[in-house]
Amino acid sequence: MPSDAPIIGISAGRIPVAGRVIDGTQREYADRITDAGGIPVLLPVQPTDSLVSIITVLDGLLFTGGGDVDPQRYGADPSPESGGIDPDRDRTEAFLLEQAAHQGIAVLAVCRGAQILNVARGGSLVQHLPKVTAEPHLVIERRTEAVHSVKVATGSQLGRIVGKDRLETNSLHHQAVDQMGNHLVAVAWADDGTVEAIEDPEGGVLGVQWHPEQMPDRPEQMGLFAWLIREALERRRLRG
C-alpha cells in the first residue's frame, strides 16, 4: 500500500448479537476500499465532539447499508414496516455528511447511506416500496446477482464512472429516495421509476441504492470504489 494512500472512513452500525452490541458492517466494504488502493477505517456511532477531530485525518467517506433512517428526521411517522432505526447512528452520519460538505471530502453512500445522504440534505424517503410498486426491490437471496437494470442519466457523474446508460444491479432495499434533498439530483432509476442513484451536481458526492461491494466480478461496480479513491486523492490535493 503506498504511503500516500487515502484514508477512507467507513460508517458502522450497532448490531445486537446475543445480548451484546457489536460495532460493525459487512467485510466487503473494507475489502473493496483496499482493492481500490485506499486505507479503510471503521467509524462507530459516537458523539459528534469526537468526530470533529477524526474527520480531519480522513480523505473520503463510505456510508454503508443498515437499518432504516428515523422517519422523524424528515417529518414522518414510522410505517409498520420500518425497522432497525437507530437515531444515534443517524445523528453520527448526518454530522459526518455535514462536515464532509464543509471540508470538501469525497463521499460514496450505499443503500441506507444514500438514504441518510438524502435526508441529511432535507429530503424524504419512501418508507416501504411494496406499498407503491409491484417491482421487487428486496431480493436478499440474490445479493451477489443482478436482479434488475437501472437507467443512468446521460452526462452524470455516475454515467462517466460506469461508462453505461443502463446498469445491472442487485437490489436489497425496501426504502428509497422520495423528495430530493438540497443540492442533489437523481441520476439513475429502476424501470418502475424508483430513484436508484443520487449525486451532487458539483461533484464528489454519490449515493447508490444497490450494493456494489457485493458484485466484485463486475468492473463497472468496482469503478465506484476506484472513483472514491481518485476523488479522495484529488480533494486532498486541493485542500493542500
pLDDT digits over 170-223, tens only?
999 999 999 999 999 999 999 999 999 999 999 999 999 999 999 999 999 999
Closest CA to 13 of 1, 23, 2: 23
Active site residue 174: no
Structure confidence at residue 240 (pLDDT):
74
Q: Give how far Cα 220 sits from Cα of 78, 85, 143, 215, Å.
A: 35, 31, 17, 10
Which residues does residue 126 pair with via DSSP β-bridges, in sequence order?
176
- Name the active-site residue from 137, 148, 173, 211: 211
**Angle made by CA atoms 213, 51, 227, in degrees to the nearest 5:** 30
- Name the active-site residue from 93, 196, 199, 213: 213
d(CA 117, CA 130): 22
pTM over 0.75: yes
Q: Which CATH superfamily is domain 7-239 in?
A: Class I glutamine amidotransferase (GATase) domain (3.40.50.880)
Active site residue 128: no
Structure confidence at residue 238 (pLDDT):
84
In this structure, what C-alpha cell is assigned to residue 202?
Answer: 458539483
d(CA 172, CA 32): 18
- Name the active-site residue from 111, 137, 174, 231: 111
Structure confidence at residue 211 (pLDDT):
98
Length of the chain: 240
Active site residue 111: yes
- Helix intervals (H) in 112-218: 112-120, 157-162
Going by pLDDT thresholds of 50, 70 and 90, the confidence category of residue 7 is: very high
Which residues does residue 181 pair with via DSSP β-bridges, in sequence order?
none
* Residue boundaries of the structural domains of the chain: 7-239
Residue with cell 411517522: 77
pLDDT, tens digit, for every residue of 22-74?
999 999 999 999 999 999 999 999 999 999 989 999 999 999 999 999 999 99
In the predicted model, is pLDDT for residue 3 greater than 80?
no
